[in-house]
């Protein structure tokens, strides 16, 4: 009899790639933007995404829109100084980041047409920070 051997990889973070979370359904808006793959977004990237969104939406639409952003940076990245030895603790906090799974709705929009949302999707996918798709 052959025994099947399964090799497990060691990951730094123990996250599962399943859809057992409740952040893949629309809650507040009529259109949502869902992530195509799992990403880690830092606080600075999150702020730049928000600024790009608001700036580009003001160019596209003349009427008022509502933007619901679902991201929060919960995790902290730490770093020790260069010449520190082992056993000196974890180190100082460098920055905060958020880990978002595939299928997570990053933000939702209200009072915007589908054509304008497609323009916005093309603009955001050019920025190489994240890849998204529209759901409605």
Return mean pLDDT, the chain.
Answer: 80
What CATH number does domain 31-79+90-135 carry, 3.90.1170.10, 3.40.50.300, 3.40.630.190, 3.40.50.700? 3.90.1170.10
Residue 80 has pLDDT above 70, yes or no: yes
- The 10 Å Cβ neighbour count of residue 80 is 13
> For the segment 24-79, what is each residue's pLDDT rounded down to a tens digit?
678 888 899 998 888 888 888 888 888 888 888 898 888 888 888 887 777 888 88
Residue 81 has pLDDT above 70, yes or no: yes
* Sign (positive or negative) of CA dihedral 54, 59, 60, 65: positive
Predicted local confidence at residue 15, as pLDDT: 54
Q: What are the tokens at 23?
A: 């952040």
CA 36 vs CA 7, 16, 19, 78: distances in Å: 26, 16, 13, 28
Average pLDDT over residues 11-26: 58
Rounded to two decimals, the pTM is 0.71
Residue 90 has pLDDT above 60, yes or no: yes
Q: Which range among 6-10, 67-71, 111-115 shows the weakest confidence by mean pLDDT?
A: 6-10
Residue 9 has pLDDT above 80, yes or no: no
Alpha-carbon distance of 122 to 133, in angstroms, equals 9
């Amino acid at each position: 009899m052959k025994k099947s051997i399964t090799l497990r990889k060691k990951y730094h973070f123990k996250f599962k790639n399943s859809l057992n979370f409740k952040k893949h359904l629309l809650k507040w808006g009529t259109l949502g933007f869902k992530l195509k793959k799992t990403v880690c977004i830092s606080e600075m990237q999150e702020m730049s995404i928000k600024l790009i969104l608001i700036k580009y939406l003001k160019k596209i639409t003349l009427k008022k829109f509502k933007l619901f952003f679902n991201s929060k940076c919960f995790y902290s990245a730490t770093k020790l100084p260069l010449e520190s030895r082992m056993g000196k603790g974890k180190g100082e906090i460098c920055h905060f980041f958020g880990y978002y799974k595939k299928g997570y709705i990053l933000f939702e929009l209200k009072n915007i047409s589908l054509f304008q949302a497609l323009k916005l999707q093309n603009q955001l996918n050019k920025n190489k920070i994240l890849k998204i798709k529209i759901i409605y």
